[in-house]
Chain A
Amino acid sequence: MSLPVYASTGQRIWHYAFRVICGLIFFFLIAPIVIIIPLSFNAQDFFTFSPEMLRLDPAGYSLKHYQDFFTNPDWQLPLWNSLAIAPVATLIAVSLGTLAAIGLSQSHVPFKSAIMAILISPMIVPLIISAAGMYFFYSRVGLQGTYWGVVLAHAVLGIPFVIITVTATLVGFDRSLTRAAASLGAGPVRTFFMVQMPLIMPGVVAGALFAFITSFDEVVVVLFLGAPGDKTLPWQMFTGLREQISPTILAAATVLVAISIALLITLEVLRRRSERLRGMSPT
């Protein structure tokens, strides 16, 4: 966007001011995340840049916090717990959320907006309230302090994301495709897996990503529902920050950022691929 030759002084000032504002916004968004990356390579056990680091002296840097993260059982147990909880919670959230979105996109379903509001509510209600509610309810049914309790609670938190993203892709879905599949002899189940599912995949994958991330950095619910043996990565980071300020937290954070970026890139690649497949589908 270059400045047209006839721009007035006011427009010129705004043109540059606008760029400065955008730059500041990006800075505030990204700086806190970026700053942890060099700090995680700190050779000292502090959260600050040492004089050696500022001089870019190799002696100031080390991988010892990463070593700690990948070998210390205090970190390994939460890492594996998180990896055991998040995928299962995601799977449940995606299955239920996708089905709910498809059901709610049918024209004959009564009270659609009310049902939608209820299903979305975990995203709206303050997390601490959901967590407290779940705590009392899950205690009654014996799920409190169990692996499945945490998985179910995280699935509930992930479902709204899946519903929203899948509903968005269903808006552009041509219903005559399912009719065509039926006329060609495919039953409802086959039609779903062979025709509808591949076409709403971008929404499903996006929803799955959000559900996964939600579970992966959720700390409030797991504090209420988790048994000490189910300690997850965010929980460990949270207690770690309070009890022993170790830069291993920074190494853990950097690993999490790397995972998030990898997931986002995967998602974007998948989205582009399916966009290409959908092509200029006739409307």
Chain B
Amino acid sequence: MAEGAMANDAFVVFDRVQKSYDGVTLVVKDLNLSLPKGEFLTMLGPSGSGKTTCLMMLAGFETATHGEIRLNGRNINTVPPHKRGIGMVFQNYALFPHMTVAENLAFPLEVRKLDKSVRDEKVKRALDMVQMGAFAGRRPSQLSGGQQQRIALARALVFEPELVLMDEPLGALDKQLREHMQFEITHLAHNLGITTVYVTHDQTEALTMSDRVAVFNDGRIQQLAPPSELYEAPVNSFVAQFIGENNRLMGTVTEITGETCVVRLDSGDIIDAKPVNVSKVGDRTQVSIRPERVETNKARLRPGVHTLKAEVTEFIYMGDIFRTRLKVAGHDDFVIKTRNAPDQIRHQPGQMIEIGWLPEDCRALDAP
């Protein structure tokens, strides 16, 4: 999508937003972001990266120190939270403990002065939507974590907001339930055509659920891209390191020819890479290569590419894949992953092998 087209039908816009709590340090530094209607955007980042602050500013619980936040073309900086009409799912669900499930869901409808018959109808529909119809008369304390989570979701959706914010809603659930809920939330959001801003520090969640992911670090968006691009084409060493597993090697660029470059590692070995954040010969770089893109079968490599000698230090059987730890170019934390296929070689510790990769899979990024 072109920048211009996006700016036109942008539904949520952060325009040069800054936030400081103490007036000295900026928690959010110059945030620019725009979401089209119906998009599922995830803000991903380590704790303290500013992602939750951004969500709270959008919800209205924090005010931006500088800049403008627009919703549907309207500046909402001075609109109080209860007049923004934004649905929100909280980390701890925040269900009202003194109300039943049905009363919790009816709350936003009562506030909007809907008739009792309309209210009941909407509450019933919202409960059915999350398969909790049988629990209308229960109190939150009588529900399990997963059930409370569904009610919180239904409550955020029952008044049909166009925008829903979710603050690490699945953090407290166990793994299996979490995966199930990830699927359910994305499904609901897409079916209802709701614009969603989702905050998490779990990268798997971000990759599986989102249309686009904004990776936050140090108060800035490091990269804003669809999940596949984020994983396969990280634009800097932070993103490469934060998303998925990653092998890092430090070196200096010695040659750049169009789409490929040659890097001399600190150990003296020579490798091929794709220049991303390096511009000239002599630049320091951290090259990044995904464990599953490392090739151990020389026959499958492009002729003429550089290879490295490696010593197998550990072989871990993980069922669907094998994880092999190697000592490469002086680093002993180099990991490769191979599929458990019938013809796959199971390397033994101590074995010397030769590894290589396609130059486009190895990205020469900035040296942190």
Contact with B along A175-213 (1 / 0, CB 8 A): 011011111111110110011001100000000000000
Name the interface residues of B92-139: CB closer than 8 Å to any CB of A: 92-98, 107-108, 111-112, 139
With known contacts A183-B59, A187-B82, A282–B111 Cβ distance under 8 A: no
Q: Are B81 and A179 in contact (CB under 8 A)?
A: yes
CA distance A15 to B98 in the complex (A): 44
Query: At the interface with chain A, which of B83-91, B309-317, B360-368?
Result: B83-91
CA distance A177 to B87 in the complex (A): 14
Q: Is B142's beta carbon under 8 Å from chain A?
A: yes
With known contacts A199-B97, A279-B142, A183–B87 Cβ distance under 8 A: yes
Interface SS majority for chain A: helix
Q: What are 29 A-B pairs with beta-carbon distances under 8 A?
A: A174-B92, A176-B90, A176-B91, A176-B94, A177-B94, A179-B88, A179-B94, A180-B96, A181-B107, A182-B61, A182-B82, A183-B59, A183-B82, A183-B88, A184-B108, A184-B155, A184-B159, A185-B85, A185-B111, A185-B112, A186-B108, A186-B111, A187-B80, A187-B82, A188-B82, A190-B111, A198-B98, A279-B142, A282-B145
With known contacts A182-B60, A186-B107, A282–B148 Cβ distance under 8 A: yes
Q: Are B94 and A180 in contact (CB under 8 A)?
A: yes
CA distance A212 to B85 in the complex (A): 43
Residues of B within 8 A of A182 (CB): 60-61, 80-82
B interface size (C-beta, 8 A): 36
CA distance A241 to B13 in the complex (A): 77
A223 shortest CB reach to chain B, Å? 43
CA distance A184 to B59 in the complex (A): 11
Q: Are A179 and B82 in contact (CB under 8 A)?
A: no
Residues of B within 8 A of A195 (CB): 96
Contact with B along A268-283 (1 / 0, CB 8 A): 0000001001111111
Partner of B159, one of A176, A185, A274: A185
Name the interface residues of B186-239: CB closer than 8 Å to any CB of A: none
List chain B positions with a Cβ less than 8 A from chain A.
59-61, 80-88, 90-98, 107-108, 111-112, 139-142, 145, 148, 155-156, 159, 165, 172
With known contacts A174-B92, A179-B61, A279-B142, A185–B97 Cβ distance under 8 A: no
Partner of B141, one of A174, A186, A278: A278
Residues of B within 8 A of A198 (CB): 98
Other A-B pairs, 8, CB within 8 Å; known A185-B85, A277-B97, A281-B141: A184-B82, A184-B111, A185-B111, A186-B107, A187-B80, A279-B141, A282-B92, A283-B92
Residues of A within 8 A of B82 (CB): 181-188, 191
Residues of B within 8 A of A181 (CB): 82, 96, 107
Residues of A within 8 A of B112 (CB): 185
Identity of the chain B residue whose Cβ is nearest the Cβ of A201 in the assembled complex? B98
The CB with the most chain A CB atoms within 10 A, among B81, B84, B94, is that of B94
Partner of B94, one of A174, A185, A199, A274: A174
Residues of B within 8 A of A176 (CB): 90-92, 94
Residues of B within 8 A of A185 (CB): 82-83, 85, 108, 111-112, 159
Residues of A within 8 A of B96 (CB): 177, 180-181, 195
CA distance A186 to B109 in the complex (A): 10
CA distance A259 to B112 in the complex (A): 44
Partner of A194, one of B107, B145, B172: B107
Q: Are B140 and A180 in contact (CB under 8 A)?
A: no
Q: Are A184 and B93 in contact (CB under 8 A)?
A: no
Residues of A within 8 A of B84 (CB): 183
CA distance A180 to B94 in the complex (A): 6
Identity of the chain B residue whose Cβ is nearest the Cβ of A185 in the assembled complex? B111
Residues of B within 8 A of A283 (CB): 92
B315 shortest CB reach to chain A, Å? 43
CA distance A4 to B31 in the complex (A): 67
B163 shortest CB reach to chain A, Å? 11
